[in-house]
Structure 1
């Protein structure tokens, strides 16, 4: 792939054992996002500009062949970036597994990635039920999110669904609605809840969150609600 003169990647985490289940990986943090989630604790990435070109990233990855198992594409929203498909293609050619962290806002791109067999694992952010989606994300992208979820489940790609919980934004009834929605889609397995991080900089000024939910009570026979620290 030719050197891309743009620098879409905000930063690189060269090593992690936490972000791809049971694999060693690096993380590419893409600048920019098409949502403005009130609780977002990566404002510098969402509102900032990138500093790394695809060429520099590929050079780094060549040096990590046979040392890392996987590459995590995160952000921001990685899937919205121009030339993301050629970059992922190059990464796959090197023999890496590919995980994508996404808000589900680009089903057309997701369909192309699935058709090309370029994704090994997906983490899909489920921001809010439809009734609260626009208020929490400051976007009208619920329908694309739902379409992306459908594509992932139809393709049977290993995936996880996750939600950031703030007690002022989501009530227990909202979580129950979201879990029922996933059940209706025939999603099964773990549904990860990550608590809002109090005392960190976020996109919007929010009251302190009372981070306390009953995972066992929310779980169903097919969906296990898991708290992710």
Structure 2
């Protein structure tokens, strides 16, 4: 793991709303380079709203987002992505009729030459050998876990500094959850910051810091060890008796 030396992402008092509905009441979070930060919570807690606001897909009502020393609070999503902050959305959004190779190349669109895209693709296959075995397979024919790794690979093709992961373990068999979390550790090990939202308690096994959201607010914050020692977390949010 690389040494964590600076706050790559700083979010202060972030608030999101949809008409009269409140998606996020207030969020403070920091992520460092090479660090995995996890936000846990039930459906409707505000986890996806937080990621979409940080990525610029949803406009925030208040708050400040600073990425790599630059205020990106009002920047459009495409500029935020070009700056090196990439969102892997819930559901993976793989394009089924395209091959694994073609899906990966989409991640590098507009980010260099064809030669650089080919080199980037081969690098992804080194990171995720499972994808190399299926490079000519249609994305829609992959298993859920394979599609999640493909979504990771597509994001890495953009050469990000920070990746936002929206419930990457959703719908996966336990063995694939382990593989996906191993992949998240591998991504952070390359010096990339990771902000991951999850409902699966297994995410705490790979996290450096964690928080629990409830009704759009952080109600518990600390190290994974501290959260696992908190009865409110283990009983109310993680389903641990």
Q: What is the TM-score when the length of structure 2 is the normalising length?
A: 0.32
Higher relative contact order (CA 8 A, sep 6+): 2
